[in-house]
Homo-oligomer: A and B are copies of this chain.
Amino acid sequence: MAPASPTFSPLYRQIKSLMMQALESAEWRPGQAIPSEQELAARFGVSQGTVRKAIDEMAAENLLVRKQGKGTFVASHNDPRALFRFLRLVPEDGDLSHPVSLPLECWRAKAGQEASRVLAIEPGEPIIIVRRLLKFSSKPVVVDEIYLPGEIFQGLSLEVLQSWSGSLYSLFEARFGLRMIRAEERIRAVAADRATADILKVKEGVPLLSVERVTYTYGDRPVEWRRGLYSTAEHYYLNELN
């Protein structure tokens, strides 16, 4: 008898993967509209409903944004709705003012054991390390140390960082064509060391949140590794469990 197909893939998933290619190859760029459902149906030779289901899934994954009456757009970190997608820290009082990013340092180095493992590059390959401070209402709350593959982020410097007014990820998107689509955070409680305590204006030894984040772009490629130390005296990390 014929062997059961072990890898049945419905049409709409094949369409989806074609559309993913259009994203990865930058045929469709962040912020831009993609072709209408009718056009895509014609282009792929399927019905509108099938294209629709592919788009539905991609919208659910925050890759596309549908706007009734206007069209379907490639998600962008410039979109105000995406700004807080990765920052879960919230002020105790309901202060809504945007946090401000202050780049402190930016230097080059070679990947050590841990960085190479996390970023899936060879040990010794160039990386870029950024240190920056995050302020809420002028108060220092987060110190981040960010590790980036040098290969991808050529030309990144403290000047570039300081002259950019938007979020880090919108800079990465605009300047390096890199869209962050998913991240994992590992959270622990640690005691503030001397240097960090000074920057965050807390006492040495105060408990801080240690937030390690690995961020992925298309194809689950890790492209950022960062460790943040969060002062939780007047802020907390908010997580919604569904």
* A residues apposed to B, CB below 8 Å: 60-62, 85-86, 88, 182-191, 205, 207-209, 213, 230, 232, 236-242
- Is there contact, CB below 8 Å, between A236 and B61? no
| B190 and A241 within 8 A (CB) | no
CB closest residue in chain B, given A190? B207
Q: B188 to A209, Cβ gap below 8 A?
A: yes
- Among candidates B60, B208, B239, B241, residue contacting A207 with C-beta atoms closer than 8 Å: B208
Distance in Å from the Cβ of A70 to the closest Cβ of chain B? 18
Q: Which of A185, A188, A189, A230 has the most CB of B within 10 A?
A: A189
Output the least CB separation between A94 and chain B (Å): 13
Across the interface, do B184 and A187 meet the contact criterion of CB distance under 8 Å?
no
Q: Does B191 lie within 8 Å of A241, measured CB to CB?
A: no
Q: 18 A-B contacts, Cβ less than 8 Å apart?
A: A85-B241, A86-B241, A182-B241, A182-B242, A184-B240, A185-B238, A185-B239, A185-B241, A187-B187, A187-B209, A187-B232, A187-B236, A188-B209, A188-B236, A189-B209, A191-B207, A207-B207, A209-B209
In the complex, the answer to whether B184 meets A237 with C-beta atoms within 8 Å is no
Query: Least Cβ distance of A210 to chain B in Å?
Result: 8
The residues of B that contact A85 with a CB separation of less than 8 Å are 241
- Pick from B183, B190, B239: contact of A189, CB below 8 A: B190
Q: Contacts A61-B242, A86-B241, A239-B239: A208 and B189 contacting too (C-beta < 8 A)?
A: yes
Q: How far is the CB of A130 from chain B (nearest CB, A)?
A: 19
Q: Which residues from chain B contact A213 at a C-beta distance below 8 Å?
A: 241
Q: A86-B241, A189-B189 provided; 16 other pairs, C-beta below 8 A?
A: A60-B60, A182-B240, A182-B241, A182-B242, A184-B241, A186-B236, A187-B209, A187-B236, A188-B209, A188-B232, A188-B237, A189-B230, A189-B232, A191-B207, A209-B209, A239-B239
